[in-house]
Structure 1
Amino acid sequence: MSHKIRPENYRLGYLFDWKNDWYTHNINYSNFLIKNLKISEYLNRILYKNFLFLGDLTLKSNALKVLISLTCYPCKDSYKNTNWDLINHLCQLYFQKSVQINYYYRHTLLEHPNFITNWLCFLLEKEYDLKIILNQVKNFIKKTQENEYQINKKTQNFIRSKNFETTKKLIETKNFQANTSYRSSNSLHSSTRSETYSGNYYCSHCINSYDRFFSTKIVLLRGLKIIIRGRLHGLQNQISTVESIEIGTVPLQTKEHEILYSTRDFVTKYGVYGIQVWIFYN
């Protein structure tokens, strides 16, 4: 029998590091760990009420100050009315020291699995049909893949045209070099070099927003897996059932790939739904 393990914990020390380690340097480890769990639950709940989905959350602390950095996805336009000063004040009362909150907005659901779990809970609250929701996820990913393919095709054509223009200019400069001085030919060569660099720089901006950047590496989305368990059809079904979709591949047994995982329980009048999301980056 295989032993189930959280994909992020399986890759700790190899690909990932601990996100929060501020509570490990204290003597009273258990109380500070409970504080970390409570502040993450509070921020997730208060941002969800303001139509913001919490993604990454990191905390750093010293004797005088607590630094909270988080990413969030705005679901509606009313997220602009969120009172960050009030959240900061409540965190200061909880930690009994000054708190600084740095928040960063993201604009695609595919950047973090927590965005997808919160989005599913948001739609299940409105009592949408689960199959319709999962089909929306499939169609959304297919559209992003088509857009990525078209963008890559345009960039390849752009690079080819730029390379053709630069080679043509280089040939012209070499033919013209016999009647010009060394300084003028050098300036022409530098201008063609800057044009090729601008073409390569343009390619880096064509990458979609759900791609992840780790230092100099570009990590692309390659697979998504969603599993929802519970009494999904209400009173008609007394036994819990499973609905799932899998797009692409999600290799859980290898350590070489970036796999992010998120889970959440959603309480309904028929019971508790268990939502699990895996996102595979390569």
Structure 2
Amino acid sequence: MFLNDQKTNPVSFRIGILKIWDSNLQKYGKYFKPYSLILHLQLQAFNYFSRLFSKNNLYIDYINWLFTNHGLVINIISYNNVSQELISKNILDKKLLSILHYWFHLPVSVFLFNQQVWYNSASLISNYVSKCLVYGFPIKKTLQNTCKILQGEVDTKKLIYSKNGLNVISLDGFKIQFSGCFDSTRTQMAKTIQYSHGSVPLTRAQGYVEYSYQQIFTKYGTCGLKIWIFYKIR
């Protein structure tokens, strides 16, 4: 079967082969709720976390949701330049836990983990580009600088948790695509800027691919940022 990399999410057909789900839900026990309600509450909590972290100049990389018989465990991986104690004091307070407990009606535990660098995660890279545009940096210059940083990190190793346990992967290639109206031209037509380096086989299930899509709002209109990062499994 032919898979078009423009129409297919490269992460979806790796679930169950290499990647694992970011949520573990159960349909039994005293904390049972319909899946539709759990997913709605999960999206509501994710949007709340995004606004809260953005307000404190923090960037979320990954959130893992674990529903057990004893309650809900939320693991958040983020990038920041401040101490872990200051983050826990400003974010992981009693008010946050009380809000989550009110939404989910079960005991909630939140654990925060610090990501050391931002350029080895597709979601953190998209947050970096979005923040640069908010500060008024030119889009082409921002994307070129991002590509230079990623090119210097080729063959950098990274540790992931997959279906088969812990694996060591290394950066092999990336692809960045930015589409929309971002120039003050007479035609006001949408444009597409694309940068790529190395190998990015999006239609093969053997490699490990991180994918991120983010909408960016500019004074000329809405733009879309897509980032693919391909890793080789050691």
Greater Cα shift, 17-26 or 50-59: 17-26
Question: Could you tell me how far 1:269 is from its partner in structure 2?
Answer: 2.5
Amino acid at match of 2:137: Y
* Cα distance, 1:267–1:24 mapped onto 2, change above 3 Å: farther
Q: Does 1:11 align with 2:14?
A: yes
User: TM-score, normalising length from structure 1?
Assistant: 0.70
Amino acid at match of 1:254: R
* Cα distance, 1:275–1:249 mapped onto 2, change above 3 Å: same
User: What residue number does 1:37 align with?
Assistant: 43
SS at 1:220 equivalent = strand
2:73 to 67, 74, 80: 67
* Cα distance, 1:242–1:220 mapped onto 2, change above 3 Å: same
Question: Could you tell me how far 1:262 is from its partner in structure 2?
Answer: 1.0
**Following superposition of structure 1 onto structure 2, how do residues 1-282 of structure 1 map, counting pairs within 5 Å?**
2-3=3-4, 4-22=7-25, 26=32, 28-74=34-80, 76-77=81-82, 80=86, 82-85=90-93, 86-145=95-154, 211-214=158-161, 215=165, 217-234=167-184, 236=186, 238-282=188-232
8 Å CA contact 1:72, 1:106 repeated in 2: yes
Ranges in structure 2 where 5+ consecutive residues have no aligned partner: none
Structure richer in helix, relative to its length: 1
8 Å CA contact 1:261, 1:279 repeated in 2: yes
Question: Could you tell me how far 1:229 is from its partner in structure 2?
Answer: 0.9
Instruction: Work out which of the two has the higher radius of gyration on C-alpha atoms and give 1 or 2.
Output: 1
Superposed CA offset, 1:197-243 (max 9, x none):
xxxxxxxxxxx5x6224445321111111111111114655111111
8 Å CA contact 1:263, 1:275 repeated in 2: yes
* Cα distance, 1:22–1:249 mapped onto 2, change above 3 Å: same
8 Å CA contact 2:26, 2:68 repeated in 1: no
Amino acid at match of 2:22: K
Question: Could you tell me how far 1:78 is from its partner in structure 2?
Answer: 8.5
2: distance between equivalents of 1:24 and 1:112?
A: 32
User: TM-score, normalising length from structure 2?
Assistant: 0.83
Ranges in structure 1 where 5+ consecutive residues have no aligned partner: 149-207
Aligned length: 219
Say what the alpha-carbon RMSD is for the aligned residues: 2.4
* Cα distance, 1:50–1:236 mapped onto 2, change above 3 Å: farther
Question: Could you tell me how far 1:23 is from its partner in structure 2?
Answer: 5.9
Amino acid at match of 1:84: L
Superposed CA offset, 1:58-78 (max 9, x none):
11123542100111011x549
1: distance between equivalents of 2:119 and 2:41?
A: 29
2: distance between equivalents of 1:57 and 1:254?
A: 26
Identify the structure with bigger relative contact order (alpha carbons < 8 Å, sequence gap 6+): 2
